[in-house]
């Protein structure tokens, strides 16, 4: 595949311009005020797939945002790669922490991206990474080296739980039939330390509400004599971890898969600098479950975190009040074998049971999904590993990630196929944060690496 670097060099500016145009549309799936923009992004993805050489592209309407499906079937006897990605993005707030507006992409150099990075919401998660696949497809078609069949499925509700995609997948098993699913929606260790993600954590996301008195009260007249829902909520939350930072919900760890000493030793070989990690976050020390390293804590161990907490008076100045209600949003990141619905139930039962008399507690599940681990002795992994080795000049390290893409385990369940998580972002690219960015080098490296995956996967399937 000699002409890949040439083709990329020749079309580099256009590849960047097209991505920048896509990043200008604020496709925020969580906020109904942007629904027109989300729909327009779906249309833009459809056009992009047609231009890249898909023979059939359709927009599938759902109860939420549409799914864009595209395909190019060259020979039904050849393998089929199904590419998944998402065109929706996270809300950009807090806006004042952005150095440039989130939907006006700019290219700026950074320490880790000396060749420049595109700053915009969705640059890395996931428009930039999804678009690498569209451009890789264009490259393979235009240079007459597409070796197998391709299907694309790009959704607009990943950041809000993929509920409608789950229905679409269950109803379209035949249409989506494939030999391997390929996703770029994760990261790698560093630009000179390529890695392939072999695991994702599951997720259970809940909201809790603590209600005390039937109305807000004067904190002098009533203070000390009735339960204050905010005091109670914070106490209940604090009790969810013990002094070793183990989670106290009974049964929470029952199904957690413990890694062997050998597996943990293998994991510990991945390059990692604690000093650099702390410096990047401006923290003096890391914090977490006793007995586990930082890399273990954020990948092979489950967690429980408050994502938001509110109630009472938070405006200017002081108001003396005992609020009637207090709220929190809590996420639990899960590891393989933990079932998210079971964990949600365990949490609910426990949280309700620790509420003192004088308050009532309501736990409302939001969404969730199972974790995922993929073996490395498959053709899919081997092809991906060889593709990285070809373009990075180094064998990639298998690595389990702490993030979640709940739909991946569902793909395996419904379609019976494994997923290869070929991510080109860096943890420091600030996804979901202000100043999200994606390295220009990473974007082009992705476009370069993907065609080799197709080639090796097709070859390995033959022989």
User: Per rule CB under 6 A, is residue 299 in the interface with ligand BES?
Assistant: no
Q: What angle do CA 57, 63, 68 make, to 5 degrees?
A: 15
User: Per rule CB under 6 A, is residue 158 in the interface with ligand BES?
Assistant: yes
> What is the spatial distance between Cα 332 and Cα 463, in angstroms, rounded to a whole number?
43
Q: Contact with ligand BES (CB under 6 A): which of 27, 186, 455, 458?
A: 186
Q: What is the distance, to the nearest Å, from the Cα of residue 148 to the centroid of all Cα atoms in its chain? A: 28
Give per-residue burial for 370-381: e unless 16+ CB within 10 Å, then b: bbbebeeeebbb
> What is the spatial distance between Cα 264 and Cα 262, in angstroms, rounded to a whole number?
5
Smallest gap, in angstroms, from Cβ of residue 68 to ligand BES? 17
For residue 27, give the nearest of 117, 180, 131 by alpha carbon: 131
* Binding residues among 93-132 for ligand BES as defined by CB under 6 A: 125-126
* 311 interacts with, out of ligand BES, Mn ion, none, CB within 5 to 8 A per kind: none
Tokens 């996703």, residue located: 183
Q: Are 41 and 87 in contact (CB under 8 A)?
A: yes
Q: What string marks each residue from 166 to 195 as x (binds Mn ion by CB under 5 A) or -?
A: -------------------x----------
Neighbours of 215 (CB within 10 A): 8
> What is the spatial distance between Cα 259 and Cα 93, in angstroms, rounded to a whole number?
38
* 404 interacts with, out of Mn ion, ligand BES, none, CB within 5 to 8 A per kind: ligand BES
Residue 79 or residue 406: which is nearer to ligand BES going by CB? Answer: 406
* Binding residues among 8-47 for ligand BES as defined by CB under 6 A: none
Q: Contact with Mn ion (CB under 5 A): which of 37, 71, 126, 157?
A: 126
Smallest gap, in angstroms, from Cβ of residue 55 to ligand BES? 29
Q: What string marks each residue from 404 to 443 as x (binds ligand BES by CB under 6 A) or -?
A: xxx------------------------x------------
How far lies 399's CA from each of 86, 273, 299, 354, 409, in Å? 22, 16, 9, 37, 17
Smallest gap, in angstroms, from Cβ of residue 294 to Mn ion? 22
* 179 interacts with, out of ligand BES, Mn ion, none, CB within 5 to 8 A per kind: none
User: Per rule CB under 6 A, is residue 187 in the interface with ligand BES?
Assistant: yes
Residue 63, φ and ψ in degrees, nearest 5: -65, -15
Tokens 């509400």, residue located: 209
Smallest gap, in angstroms, from Cβ of residue 158 to Mn ion? 6
Q: Contact with ligand BES (CB under 6 A): which of 403, 439, 446, 451?
A: 403
The DSSP bridge pattern shows strands 397-400 and 149-155 to be unpaired
């Amino acid at each position: 595949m000699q002409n890949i670097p040439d083709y990329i060099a020749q079309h580099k500016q256009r590849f960047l311009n097209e991505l920048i145009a896509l990043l200008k549309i604020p496709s925020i799936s969580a906020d109904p005020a942007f629904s027109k923009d989300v729909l327009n992004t779906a249309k833009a993805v459809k056009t992009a797939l047609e231009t890249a050489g898909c023979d059939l592209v359709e927009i599938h309407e759902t109860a939420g945002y549409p799914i864009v499906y595209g395909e190019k079937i060259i020979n039904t006897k050849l393998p089929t790669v199904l590419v998944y990605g998402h065109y929706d993005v996270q809300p950009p707030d807090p806006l004042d922490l952005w150095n440039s507006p989130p939907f006006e992409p700019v290219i700026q150099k950074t320490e880790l991206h000396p060749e420049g990075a595109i700053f915009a919401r969705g640059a890395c998660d996931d428009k930039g990474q999804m678009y690498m696949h569209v451009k890789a497809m264009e490259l393979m078609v235009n240079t007459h080296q597409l070796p197998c069949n391709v299907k694309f499925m790009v959704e607009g509700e990943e950041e809000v739980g993929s509920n409608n995609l789950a229905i679409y997948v269950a109803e379209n098993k035949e249409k989506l039939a494939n030999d391997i699913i390929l996703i770029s929606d994760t990261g790698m260790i560093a630009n000179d330390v390529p890695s392939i993600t072999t695991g994702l954590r599951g997720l259970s996301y809940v909201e809790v509400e603590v209600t005390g008195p039937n109305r807000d009260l004067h904190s002098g007249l009533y203070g000390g004599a009735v339960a204050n829902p905010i005091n109670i909520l914070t106490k209940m939350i604090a009790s969810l971890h013990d002094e070793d930072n183990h989670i106290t919900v009974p049964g929470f760890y029952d199904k957690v898969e413990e890694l062997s000493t050998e597996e943990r030793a293998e994991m510990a070989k991945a390059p990692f600098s604690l000093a650099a990690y702390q410096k990047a976050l401006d923290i003096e020390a890391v914090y977490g479950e006793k007995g586990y390293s930082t890399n273990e804590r954020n990948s092979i161990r489950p967690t429980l975190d408050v994502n938001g907490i509110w109630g009472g008076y938070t405006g200017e100045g002081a108001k003396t009040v005992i609020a009637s209600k207090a709220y929190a949003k809590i996420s639990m990141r899960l590891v393989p074998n933990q079932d998210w619905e079971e964990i949600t139930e365990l949490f609910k039962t426990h949280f309700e049971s620790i509420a003192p008399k004088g308050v009532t507690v309501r736990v409302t599940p939001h969404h969730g999904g199972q974790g995922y681990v993929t073996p490395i002795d498959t053709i899919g992994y081997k092809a991906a590993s060889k593709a990285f080795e070809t373009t990075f000049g180094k064998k990639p390290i298998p690595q389990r990630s702490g993030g979640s893409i709940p739909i991946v385990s569902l793909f395996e369940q419904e379609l019976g196929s494994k997923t290869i998580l070929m991510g080109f972002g860096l943890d420091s690219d600030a996804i979901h944060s202000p100043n999200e960015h994606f390295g220009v080098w990473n974007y082009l490296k992705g476009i370069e690496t993907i065609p080799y995956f197709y080639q090796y996967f097709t070859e390995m399937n033959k022989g």
